[in-house]
Amino acid sequence: MKILIPTKLDKAASATLIAAGYNVVQDDSVSIEELVNANLDAAGIIVRSEKVTPAIIDSLPGLKCVIRAGAGYDNIDYVYARTKNIDVMNTPGANSNAVAEEVIAMILAAYRYVVPADVTTRAGEWNKKHYMGRELTNKTVGILGLGNIGRLLVKRLQGFECKVLGYDHFLSKQRAMNIGATPTEMDEIFAEADIISLHVPGGPATRNLINAELIGKMKDGAMLINCSRYGVVDEDAIRAAKAAGKNIIYCTDVHPKDAAAMQPSADVADLLLPHLGANTQEANKNAAMRAAQQMIDFFTKGDTSCVINAERPVDLHPAQLQLAAMLGKLAYQAGGCKPIRKIECTFYNNLRSFRKWFTPWILQGAVPGAEHGLMPAAAETSFREHGIVYKAREPKDDKLYDDALTIDIHMEVDGQQIISSVRGIVVDGNPVVSRIAEFDHLYATLGGNTIVLRYADRPGVVAAIGQALSLAGINIENIVAPTDHKSGDSLAVIKTNIPISDDQLQAIAKTISAKLAFAISM
């Protein structure tokens, strides 16, 4: 069986595969297209940043598996690969230590002017007086995101006797302290830390997470390091702060594209690197070894635990998976978006036999910034890495909800545990929420723009809500507003034609003295 490696990957991969009896062709001196055309009988490919396009996939009739030796896999058309029954995998976590060490290198390089001092000294200058540096020892370091990289960074900082402040929305305070970081809110970190390092996911949930308000809290001479994703930092806010005279050291290793270009951060960054985080011999070898072993396990054991484009069982309707993601997002919002400690799910009737397939969808719905498209085993690992206990429960015999799904999210609020509970079903192919908290028999269609308001039941509230939405130019497409007679509260679930703004929502909530108010678009 032939495996192609059209990239400069550590030879450990080819050596491992050859020892297992595979025919390996590794060549980074030609393009992937040329290597593929010369080896049309290949059954597997291992790549790094090379693009695996539909044309390449179509060229290899016997291709069964593509592995990205690294975490990201946007360079592979994994959706098209699925249509050809080709599994695509990645090797997440193989590069974590390399990124953690890069952060240390960036701190020391920036503090000691390593780059400009080298350039000017080679030019015959002697600018020792201009390069009065600072020491990392005993500094206060704030880390946003205590995943694999963040935790390793905490360990690497211990030798410098730093005070480490940590923020992770999903970790309990005790778990953060066990890692070696003092749990601290983001605004406090930006006000207190000498150095702040970012290790959060990219995407809409974290776009411009580091904004002008947080940047304005930074101490004079503080350093901000972004080795997470481009777009997490509002660089225009950094630019404006520096223009106003604020002394900030900004170091970044992430860009819109990993390609030669005038990078948009060039004028604002004090240290600018070409995405070197995973670019070490050791990380390359780790990723190579993992990719090789995954390829072997795939062909010899049928192991698909790292597949990111798995096909759902044919008897499982895609709307039921969408229901799981939507209910997860709804429960998270209904609970006030607080740190998650545990998620418990109950699958009824026919859904029980498919429950493992729901795990990735519940993850991506309930946990902001979580990876999408994971296999069930990888999703379970992701839950553990976020410090979240995930459990699929057996239903009680006396409860019959057709093919329904209940999601209970246990959250922590000021040291107290609360449970946000929702249930839903699929009706005529559409995901529907049937219960939120104690409000049952809702049967409100999910998807689109939804407003949820809880308030003390009394006449005129629904009319007041409708009038406020009308004045805002928002049309109500559907509304259900059941009352819980035990609590005396009503819950209005309103579907609208366009999203409501935060200001508009808060104005309505104030008008009706709402006990809960949130808007969600799905």
d(CA 68, CA 49): 8
Tokens of 304: 């698909």
DSSP state for residue 76 in the 8-state scheme: B
- Three-state DSSP at 423 gives strand
Quickly state the pLDDT bin for 393 (edges 50, 70, 90).
Answer: confident
**pLDDT digits over 104-123, tens only?**
999 999 999 999 999 999 99
Tokens of 127: 């600018």
Residue 31 C-alpha from the chain's centroid: 32
- Report the pLDDT averaged over residues 468-475: 92
What is the phi/psi pair of residue 305, to 5°? -65, -25
Could you tell me which CATH number the domain at 96-272 has?
3.40.50.720
Q: Using alpha carbons, select from 369, 520, 400 the residue that is nearest to residue 451.
A: 520
Which CATH superfamily groups domain 2-94+281-301? NAD(P)-binding Rossmann-like Domain (3.40.50.720)
Q: Name the burial class of residue 488, with classes exposed (0-12), middle (13-18) and buried (19+) by CB atoms within 10 angstroms of its CB.
A: exposed
Domain 448-522 falls in which CATH fold? Alpha-Beta Plaits (3.30.70)
Residue 314 has pLDDT above 70, yes or no: no
Quickly state the pLDDT bin for 82 (edges 50, 70, 90).
Answer: confident
Residues of the chain with CATH 3.40.50.720: 2-94+281-301, 96-272
Residue 370 has pLDDT above 90, yes or no: no
Could you tell me which CATH number the domain at 323-431 has?
3.30.1330.90
**pLDDT digits over 482-500, tens only?**
999 999 999 999 999 999 9
Spell out the residues 6+ positions from residue 352 whose beta carbon is closer than 8 angstroms to its own: 394, 395
**pLDDT digits over 283-297, tens only?**
999 999 999 999 999
Residue 149 C-alpha from the chain's centroid: 13
Quickly state the pLDDT bin for 170 (edges 50, 70, 90).
Answer: low
Residue 371 has pLDDT above 60, yes or no: yes
Residues of the chain with CATH 3.30.70.260: 448-522
- Three-state DSSP at 227 gives coil
What are 471-476's contacts with CB under 8 Å, separation 24+? 472/500, 472/504, 473/498, 474/498, 474/500, 474/504
Q: Are 283 and 80 in contact (CB under 8 A)?
A: no
**pLDDT digits over 5-23, tens only?**
999 899 999 999 999 999 9
Task: State residue 372's pLDDT score.
Answer: 73
Residues of the chain with CATH 3.30.1330.90: 323-431
Task: State residue 400's pLDDT score.
Answer: 61
What is the phi/psi pair of residue 130, to 5°? -80, -15
Length of the chain in residues, anyone? 522
Task: State residue 192's pLDDT score.
Answer: 97
